[in-house]
Structure 1
Amino acid sequence: MIELLLVGIGTGNPEHLTLQAIRALNSADLVLIPRKGADKADLANLRRSICAEVVTNPATRIVEFDLPLRDRTNADYRCGVDDWHDAIAEVWSDTIRSEVSGDGSVALLVWGDPTLYDSTLRIASRLQPAPSVRVIPGITSIHALAASHAIPLTDIGAPFLVTTGRALRDTGWPASVDTLVVMLDGDCAFQHLDPAGITIWWGAYVGMAEEMTLSGPLLETAPRILEARGQARERIGWIMDVYILRRDSA
């Protein structure tokens, strides 16, 4: 049986790797590195750099593969994502079969933590034959963002909600919660909120050398974020960002 190691690697900073993650990578027979096209070559380069720094086992092989692109023309978002995950699972299965004969362990380096807004576990469940799966947790962009701003995620005794930009844009601010963490937001959904009484803590490339952060009242800070985000995307070619919103409690 193949053992699949899903290794959380934090947000791009090799110092975010835990000792457990380093041991897992060195125990693997094979480490897979996905390539996502020229515009996201930095992501593959970071994975290569991490492996070069921490993988010291000469028996561990590193193999790269091209990740299928998602069809963004499909009007049915969930259907489009399901088709994409099927295609990725097929590539994983073919690559593992061609590189590992019989039993063995295969590691994948997952941004942040494999259990939070990441589809690696869902894709792994589609592999044939089904592997055994072991998850090694990693530092999330949420924790790295709060640390960069030196703020607590919660008020005393109060909850917070992790959501997506799509959900915030389509349904507005959820009831009964004053703090939101917003991920996967390509359209800056905070623009659709009444900014009165809301503070934002925003970060892009959190934990990486390119990290940039902004914070303040939403009314004043939103235009600065939009400008900085646009410039960064044009300069680097891609962007990963996350933000915390907190409204004044009654």
Structure 2
Amino acid sequence: MGTPRVHDDGPVRTVTLDRPGAANALHLDDVDAIADAVTDLPDRVRVVVLTGTGDRAFGAGMHLDVFRDAGPGDGREIITRLAECLRAVRTAPVPTLARLNGACLGAAFELALACDLRVAHSGVRVGLPEVRLGIPSVVDAALLPRYVGAALAQEMVLTGSVHRVDEPGVAPLVNRLVEDPSGLDAAVDDLVTTLLVPTREVLAAQKELLETWRELGITGSVDASVDTFAEVFALPATRAAITRYRP
């Protein structure tokens, strides 16, 4: 236990945060391992699922030892390595899905926000408590207002408050919400099944566009979308998909 476990089952790669004695808190080597697991994927892998060991936590964020053992000048390296990991997850060439099996805090919450989709059970708690340590919430915490709105996002990052995913204002964070942990796997399997229908090529292109849409205004986004459509439309995989499609 310690370094995240990576397991491939046909087209699905599962990355499991694996430090249950510390609520799956992350060390910097773990962050690097997650980035590696979603980069340069073999062609057979079509979806990546991220989850945590046990039923206590998806992840408690960065392990406190990372901060306690660091010198005053180490902050840039710490946050740069985390930012690179989250960027790798956000821009992975296949869909990424966070299976939230328990508390999801700090850097682990940012990891879940970086994923394309999220599945959770009622009672899972999410939050960005870093401010209580005197550390700002940064990098992919910037995605939070898109899901919960500006008012709640500002409250969460300014107070470090923790919320349940089944609260009305927080619920938009998740794509599937089940009553208890026993329903997580079925909900994940259902989403994975739908993600395996489109071609790998079109999903990679669509993910690139989603990133572009986050960064550009409407005019630039539309222009980029036209170019991407033309490129993907010409691919053999697209022609094959059109031929076999039945409504």
Q: TM-score, normalised on structure 2? A: 0.25
More strand by share: 1
TM-score for both structures, normalised by structure 1:
0.24
Which of structures 1 and 2 has the bigger CA Rg? Answer: 1
- Return the structure number with greater helix share: 2
- RCO higher in structure (CA 8 A, sep ≥6): 1
